[in-house]
Amino acid sequence: MQCSAKGCRRSARWQLRWSNPRIHSGDRRKTWLACDEHRGSLSEFLSARDFLREVVPMDADG
């Protein structure tokens, strides 16, 4: 699976789970994938909008 950052083709190592409280129910999560290089910038983008809920490694789901 590839990183969600624009133009990045690296393998994703992180799941950035987020939701927009104005349009998503409380338990609904969307997921962006991030490589190590883009984890910070994608997390900052989502956090600035108060959308980021959690960041977990790709293998966290088993």
Q: What would the pLDDT profile of 15-50 be if each residue is shown by its tens digit?
A: 999 999 889 777 899 999 999 999 999 999 999 999
Predicted TM-score (pTM) above 0.85: yes
Structural domain including 27 reads: 14-61
> Is residue 56 in some structural domain?
yes
Return phi, psi of residue 42, to 5°: -70, -40
Judge whether 8 and 35 are in contact, CB under 8 Å: yes
> Is residue 2 in some structural domain?
no
> Is residue 36 in some structural domain?
yes
pLDDT the model gives residue 30: 96
Coil, helix or strand for 2?
strand
Domain tally for the chain? 1
